[in-house]
């Protein structure tokens, strides 16, 4: 299965996240029982999901397994991509389509995994065209007001330059608030936008003001 990198998420980027703990997927599947119990053991997503996905099964079986894992938050989007990258796991692309249609995958991750072109909506967590245009007045003379041209500039130049794409994400503030991320990504500005989309917002990280 062909893999792509950079905005389509580099495996190095995600490996760094997993190794350094820069995101915190929900690992616990222990919930309060409706009856008295002394059970306290917790299991992580690898223990629960990986063995099932390493066995030969059909598309519907894989879909059901991942759907439940995403619904019950034993699996995060970052975990899902990490599974996709593993050589010992095979996830049919049809499964991603069904999960996306169920609203359990973001447009960004779905299109990354299926190698489709992005739309501005896929980056809505960090980009909206009106804010991008008004926050970067120099673009009026170089890019103009065309929404497609502005989104293209954001993808190809804006993130690397650390430009403000919407009111909820400010790269400078994100770096200032989270030195743990700076240790991992350094000057790789696009990685911060991706981190916030896939992990930071869900973790409650603050990107629009100083902590």
Query: Are 125 and 62 part of one and the same domain?
Result: no
Query: Are 147 and 179 part of one and the same domain?
Result: yes
- Residue 73: its pLDDT value, please? 80
Kindly report the length of the chain. 211
Q: Domain range for residue 75?
A: 6-28+43-113
Weakly modelled stretches of the chain, pLDDT under 70: 1-46
- Residue 17: its pLDDT value, please? 44
- Residue 14: its pLDDT value, please? 43
> What is the Cα–Cα distance from 165 to 123, expressed in whole angstroms?
9
Query: Are 126 and 109 part of one and the same domain?
Result: no
Q: Please state, in angstroms and as integers, the Cα–Cα distance from residue 79 to each residue in 53, 130, 171, following that order.
A: 13, 33, 24
Going by C-beta distance under 8 Å and a sequence separation of 6 or more, which residues neighbour residue 60?
none
Which of 89, 113, 137 lies at the terminal end of a domain, its last residue? 113
Query: Are 20 and 96 part of one and the same domain?
Result: yes
Which of 82, 98, 113 lies at the terminal end of a domain, its last residue? 113
- Residue 49: its pLDDT value, please? 76
Count the Cβ atoms, other than its own, within 10 Å of residue 85: 16
- Residue 38: its pLDDT value, please? 52
The answer to whether residue 63 sits within a structural domain is: yes
- Residue 15: its pLDDT value, please? 43
Query: Are 94 and 165 part of one and the same domain?
Result: no
The domain total for the chain is: 2
CA 117-119-69 angle, 5° bins = 80
Which of 113, 134, 163 lies at the terminal end of a domain, its last residue? 113
pLDDT digits (tens, 9 = 90+) for 31-48: 443 445 454 555 566 677
The answer to whether residue 84 sits within a structural domain is: yes
pLDDT digits (tens, 9 = 90+) for 70-114: 888 878 887 888 788 888 888 888 999 999 999 999 999 999 999
Nearest to 192 by CA among 119, 102, 126: 126
């Amino acid at each position: 299965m062909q893999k792509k990198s950079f905005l389509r998420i580099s495996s190095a980027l995600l490996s760094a996240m997993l190794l350094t703990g820069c995101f915190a997927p929900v690992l616990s599947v222990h919930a309060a029982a409706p009856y008295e119990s002394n059970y306290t053991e917790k299991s992580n997503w690898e223990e629960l999901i990986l063995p099932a996905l390493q066995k030969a099964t059909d598309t519907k079986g894989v879909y059901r397994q991942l759907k439940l894992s995403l619904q019950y938050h034993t699996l995060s989007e970052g975990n899902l991509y990490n599974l996709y990258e593993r050589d010992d796991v095979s996830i049919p692309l049809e499964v991603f389509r069904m999960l996306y249609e169920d609203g359990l995958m973001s447009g960004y991750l779905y299109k990354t995994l299926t190698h489709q072109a992005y739309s501005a909506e896929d980056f809505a967590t960090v980009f909206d065209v009106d804010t991008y245009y008004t926050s970067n007045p120099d673009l009026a003379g170089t890019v103009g007001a065309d929404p497609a041209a502005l989104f293209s500039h954001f993808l190809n130049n804006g993130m690397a330059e650390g430009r403000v794409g919407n009111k909820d994400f400010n790269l400078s503030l994100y770096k200032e608030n989270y030195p743990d991320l700076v240790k991992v990504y350094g000057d790789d500005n696009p990685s911060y936008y991706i981190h916030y989309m896939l992990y930071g917002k869900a973790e409650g990280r603050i990107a629009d003001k100083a902590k």
